[in-house]
Every structure is written in C-alpha cells, then in structure tokens.
C-alpha cells in the first residue's frame, strides 16, 4: 500500500506567488463537457403508502423494488445512455488513467502468507492471469531476514511452492465445456462468462487439520445450490465418493477423519447437520473413504424460521452448532446456552474455557438489547454453565467482536464512534474483571 508523506510548512511559506496559482488554475482546466441533447431521465412516480413502526410515509418509487418490471429496465437503460453521453469526452482520459494505474501495480499480487502448522498458505494472481492460485510452502524453507521480508510482501516466489488450486485452470475447464470436477478455493468467488453457458461460484472451503485434504463447495448452475467436493492434496485427486448436493458450511474433526457439513432443504435453508465419517455432519458427518449412505445425521432443525450453521473454534478442538468435541465427534452434541429469540452467541475456546460473545439477558434479568458483552465458563461446566462476566457494556464503548490467539484475546471496540483494538493476555485469573472504560 502506498503511503503519502504530509509535510506541514510554516505560515511564511504558505503564501505562494500569484503567478504559480494562476499557472496551475489555467493549466488544469479542461474544456466543459458538452451537455447531452436531453435532460437527465426521471423515473415515473406511482403513489404508494408505507407504514412501519407507528409511522406512515409516501414512497413514489416503491415500484422500482420489482426488478422484473420492464419499465425499470427501460429507465435503467435511459440512465446508462445519459451517463455515457455526459462522460463521452472523458473516455480517452479514463483509458490513460487505467493504463497508468496498471503500470504501477506489481506484476503479481500476493497475500501475506499465513502460517498454519508447518505450512505457509498464501495466494497470488500470476502475471497475465485474471484469477489467483492457492499455494503453500514449508515454513522451514525461509531463511534470512531479506528473503522473509520479500516473501511476506509478495515480492518473491518459493521454488518449492505447492500449488493447491489454480482458479484460472478451473475457469478454462468450465468454459471449454469439460465436466471435470476441479478443486476450488476462496470465499464467495464468482466466475461468470457471457459467451458460454457456464457459471462457477465457489462457496466455502476448508483445509483439514492434517493438511492432507481440502473440502470445498461449488455451484455451476447459478442457483446458489452448492455441491461438496474433497481433494486429496497428496495425490491431487478428488474423492469420487464425496459429492453431496446442497451443502452450505463445513468443519473438520480434529484428526481429519470426519467432515461435518450442513445441508439445505428445497428452500435453500440450511436445516440439517451431517457427519461424513471414515474421512471426511442437516448437520451431517462423513467418514473419509466411505460412501454417502454412511453419512450420519447429527442435528436437524425442524423450525423453518431458523437456519443451521456450523464452524470450528479457532483451536480446532470444538465444533459449534451446540458443541461437539472434534476429537470425539461420535460422543454427541452438548448444548452450551438455551436458545432465546433475539439472542446470539459467538463461541471460542482457550485452555479449557469457552469465551462467549453474546447479547443475552444477565441472570438478574438485566438486558442490554443489541449491545454485546463477553462471558466465559469452564468446559466441564457445559451442562449447567456458570457464566463469568468478563466485559459488560459501557455507555460510551461498544464491544463489536473478538479474536483469540495462543496468548492473547483481542477485542474489537467502538468508543464514541471511533474503532479501537484491545489485547488481553491469556490466560488470566478466573476472578479477572475488565472495565471497558
């Protein structure tokens, strides 16, 4: 990222000669843009009354919320035509600016490597390509501060890097009409081609804790219904026994022998959790190496007003949609907190303690509404959690989020409208109390 150096000059230097000001004011002017032959298009108004929260008002443009209305498309086309006419004299300048900005970009854009176990994972866009590739290399291959600096800033590539997923190859295969199941990586990456019928949307993906498998979901129909695939990173091949339709979220067991996943119903609502056992949980759970018929349903949500999501704590020891010990997934589910309308819980784990970010009412009945606070409890107390208040809401400070590391708990705060970060050393005593102020 480029940085600007701001230099503050004394007032005596602020008075520039009049000729300098005049020079720049004349040199930087461009001819006035010719006005289009017609005034800007104005959408039609249709009377419509809206009532909500005890208030009533008029919304004459409510008809535009219907994206299927042909009059809306007609109006958008008129707006685009007007804009193109108004900006016609800037096309050459826009092209020049685009070319200049491209020359200032590095030939390949890389993310900083993220260390996980013995590996460094990163992605970059190869020179001349449109889409990134996902790579990894062993942490031990780095040596020397300069090499480390260049690598972390995407200025050099490792000769021994392992390409896990090449999105460009994926796009080319689908565009060419091949039905080969290819591995994917990214969150919400969309590739759409106007000259073919192919559409590729990567939903989510997870690398297994032993670094041997990559589970991912992909939609090639445009209907936002994703199919689960699993790639063996050692052989580079996809597991032909794993191809599940309607998968939304994923989580691995600690030993990478089982994969939990949520499955959506006909309304695209994630409602069930399954477990695929034998490798890679509705929530369903599947064992790697076993057929789909061996998928075990773990949890089913029958209330259509709720969706089911599944994730792992950052240390990988627990899977949450209830709580599942990822080291012993067949031991079943344990409920951490009772479900209450309007209440959310975000759970992390560290050193035998669950840290919970929630807006639930306190035991004394006090409720902070949409304000979140931080509590924790011991893992062994999960059946009847004895929640310890760590951070309660403050009138000037909001607790927005948390992140947990080996030795630190990082809080994302907003104090009088300004974002702030606060780091607490872990572990701290059970009687510890922290005041936001």
Cα Rg of the chain, angstroms: 28
| C-alpha torsion angle, residues 292, 298, 303, 305 (rounded to 10) | -80
**pTM assigned to the model:** 0.63
**Whole-angstrom distance between the N-terminal and C-terminal Cα of the chain?**
33
Q: Pairing relation of β-strands 283-287 and 270-277?
A: parallel
Tokens linked to 51 = 């009532």
Using alpha carbons only, what angle is made at residue 233 by residues 230 and 239, rounded to the nearest 5 degrees? 30
Contacts of 299 (CB under 8 A, 6+ apart): 272, 273, 281, 282, 283, 308, 321, 322, 333
CB 132, CB 123: distance < 8 Å: yes
Round to whole Å and give the CA distance between 426 and 407: 5
CB 367, CB 361: distance < 8 Å: yes
Tokens linked to 315 = 């240390």
Q: Nearest CA to 337 among 315, 368, 359?
A: 359
Contacts of 320 (CB under 8 A, 6+ apart): 310, 311, 312, 313, 336, 347
Per-residue pLDDT of the chain (437 residues; tens, 9 = 90+): 444 333 333 344 344 333 333 333 344 444 555 555 678 999 999 999 999 999 999 999 999 999 889 999 999 999 999 999 999 999 999 999 999 998 887 777 788 888 888 999 988 888 878 778 888 998 876 555 455 555 555 555 566 889 887 877 776 766 655 444 333 333 444 434 344 445 667 778 789 999 999 888 877 777 788 888 888 899 888 887 777 888 888 889 888 888 888 888 766 666 666 666 544 333 455 555 445 445 667 777 777 777 778 888 998 888 887 777 777 766 667 777 777 778 888 899 999 999 999 888 877 777 777 889 898 888 888 777 678 888 887 878 889 999 999 899 999 999 888 999 999 898 876 555 555 54
* CB crowding 374-393: b at 16 or more within 10 Å, else e: bbbbebeebeebebbebbbb
Cα distances from 43 to residues 47, 64, 206, in angstroms, run: 13, 9, 47
CB 284, CB 296: distance < 8 Å: yes
Round to whole Å and give the CA distance between 40 and 329: 62
Round to whole Å and give the CA distance between 204 and 202: 6
Contacts of 215 (CB under 8 A, 6+ apart): 205, 206, 208, 228, 229, 230, 250, 252, 259, 261, 280
Task: Name the one residue in this structure whose structure tokens are 């949980």.
Answer: 281
């Amino acid at each position: 990222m480029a940085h600007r150096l701001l230099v503050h000059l004394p007032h005596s230097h602020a008075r520039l000669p009049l000729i300098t000001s005049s020079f720049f004011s004349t040199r930087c002017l461009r001819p006035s843009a010719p006005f289009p032959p017609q005034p800007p298009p104005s959408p039609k108004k249709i009377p419509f009354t809206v009532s909500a929260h005890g208030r009533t008002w008029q919304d004459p443009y409510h008809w535009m919320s219907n994206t299927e209305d042909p009059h809306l498309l007609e109006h958008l086309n008129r707006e685009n035509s007007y804009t193109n006419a108004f900006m016609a004299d800037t096309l050459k300048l826009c092209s020049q600016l685009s070319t200049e900005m491209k020359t200032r970009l590095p030939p390949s854009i890389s993310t900083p490597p993220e260390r996980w176990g013995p590996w460094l994972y990163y992605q970059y866009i190869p020179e001349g390509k449109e889409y990134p590739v996902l790579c990894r290399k062993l942490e031990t291959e780095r040596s020397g501060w300069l090499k480390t600096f260049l690598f972390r800033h995407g200025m050099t590539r490792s000769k021994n890097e392992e390409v896990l997923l090449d999105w460009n190859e994926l796009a080319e295969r689908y565009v060419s009409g091949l039905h080969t199941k290819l591995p994917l990586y990214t969150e919400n990456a969309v590739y759409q081609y106007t000259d073919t019928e192919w559409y590729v949307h990567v939903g989510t993906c997870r690398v297994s804790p032993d670094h041997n498998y990559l589970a991912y979901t992909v939609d090639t129909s445009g209907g936002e219904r994703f199919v689960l695939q699993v790639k063996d990173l050692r052989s580079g091949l996809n597991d032909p026994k794993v191809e599940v339709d309607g998968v939304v979220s994923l989580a691995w067991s600690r030993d990478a022998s089982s994969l939990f996943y949520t499955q959506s119903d006909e309304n695209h609502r994630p409602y069930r959790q399954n477990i695929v056992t034998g490798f890679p949980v509705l929530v369903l759970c599947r064992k790697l190496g076993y057929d789909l018929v061996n998928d075990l349903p773990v949890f089913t949500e029958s209330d259509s007003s709720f969706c089911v999501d599944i994730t792992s704590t950052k240390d990988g020891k627990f899977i949450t949609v209830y709580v599942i010990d990822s080291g012993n997934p067949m031991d079943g589910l344990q409920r951490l907190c009772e479900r209450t309308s309007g209440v959310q819980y975000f759970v992390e784990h560290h050193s035998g303690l669950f840290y919970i970010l929630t807006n639930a009412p306190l035991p004394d009945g006090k409720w902070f509404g949409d304000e979140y606070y931080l509590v924790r409890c011991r893992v062994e107390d999960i059946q009847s959690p004895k929640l310890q208040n760590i951070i309660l809401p403050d009138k000037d400070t909001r607790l927005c989020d948390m992140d947990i590391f080996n030795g630190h708990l990082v809080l994302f705060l907003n104090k009088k409208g300004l974002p702030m970060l606060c780091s607490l050393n872990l572990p701290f005593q059970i009687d510890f109390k922290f005041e936001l102020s």
